[in-house]
Amino acid sequence: MKPAFLAALVACCLASATWARAETILSGMASGLDEDSIAVQGKRVRLWGIDAPGLEQTCKRAGKAWPCGREAARALNRLVTGNTVRCIVIVEDKLRRLVVGDCTLGGESLSRWMVRNGWAVMARQTTAYAKDEAEAKEARRGIWSSEFEMPWDWRIRQRLKGR
């Protein structure tokens, strides 16, 4: 086979595989589970593209510790509980227990809302919320109103303590 024909054949197969795959959508009443996860239709959905302080993580304001991880969880819970959200499933484990999704409420991204309000930072693998994070930092919203350790660094330190 000629390389050009083979490339066209591969492109055609990939395109038709993409068209054949239907998006998995979860939609329904939601409740907050923790700092970056919600429940929809009985499934735990971790919000895509963000990293929020861990539930037990604390931040410092004026030299005093405050439970920023719990506050992040409360903010998400207040936002979604009793409201209908729509999540496009991005990743689902083989047992269909863990779902990572891009979720919206009234057309607004929950991940973007968490970052814009200072309750989460952008995950390291994306730049999707750079403008929102800069805005939250500038306005000193949520965790940006305090001294804090990046959530991924805090988790690593917690794991090392457990050794």
pLDDT digits (tens, 9 = 90+) for 42-70: 899 999 999 999 999 999 999 999 999 99
Q: What is the CATH number of domain 23-161?
A: 2.40.50.90
Average pLDDT, 10 consecutive residues per value, the chain (163 residues): 39 39 84 95 94 97 96 98 95 74 97 98 96 98 97 95 78
pTM for the full model? 0.83
How far is residue 50's CA from residue 52's CA, in Å, rounded to a whole number?
A: 6
Residue ranges per domain, the chain?
A: 23-161
Q: What is the pLDDT of residue 54?
A: 96
